[in-house]
Amino acid sequence: MDSPGAIARPYARAAFAYARDRNGVAQWSAALKAAASAAADPQMRAALELSDTSQAATDLLCRLLEDSAAWEFDGVRNLMRLLQENRRMGALGAIAEQFEQLWREDSRRVEAVLVSAVPLDVEQQEEIARALKARLGREVDFRFELDDSLIGGVRVQVGDQVIDGSARAGLSSLATTLNRPAN
């Protein structure tokens, strides 16, 4: 059985190419996020998966999307119907995620998760963003999280790359060094 990510990939690529060609990436992004959110509701998900209610649930989902999709509604509706016909509505969340990733890659943006022990002020956030932009050569979209177990400092994750400047990491490194046998 294919993973949702593998199922989603061709749909996300096709939707992104279609949206980019029509300068509608932002509208498609909003519509896909809204669709994925609505389809994640347990009752909606169940209705989308049942063959006797799938068409009606897809039509309802399309009506919910009319406002967020605006002038791109026909394309979004066609995608929803295609997913329903191919019994791929379960991949909608993965399609929305991959669409966002394609958008970031196309606009030379990366998403970074910045984890700190305490809230950072705007100046600190901007300083970290400038440094990361210079290091990666791309614009950076941050998501901020708090983790008091870091003790101090920050940890930044961009994809599978982690820059750990936390006090916890420093203490762990120091402990490793101190536990090495002396020469």
User: Residue ranges per domain, the chain?
Assistant: 4-105, 108-179
Q: Report domain 4-105's class.
A: mainly alpha
Q: Can you name the residues that pair with 165 across neighbouring β-strands?
A: 154
Residues 134, 162 contacting (CB under 8 angstroms): no
Predicted pLDDT of residue 52 = 64
Predicted pLDDT of residue 151 = 72
Pairing of strands 139-146, 109-116: parallel
Residues 120, 34 contacting (CB under 8 angstroms): no
Please state, in angstroms and rounded to a whole number, the distance separating the CA atoms of residues 53 and 129: 47
Averaged over successive runs of 10 residues, the pLDDT of the chain (183 residues) comes to 78 93 87 84 76 68 62 75 84 90 83 82 84 82 80 75 62 58 67
Half-sphere exposure at residue 148, Cβ-oriented, CA atoms within 13 angstroms: 0
Predicted pLDDT of residue 48 = 72
Predicted pLDDT of residue 53 = 62
Please state, in angstroms and rounded to a whole number, the distance separating the CA atoms of residues 61 and 55: 10
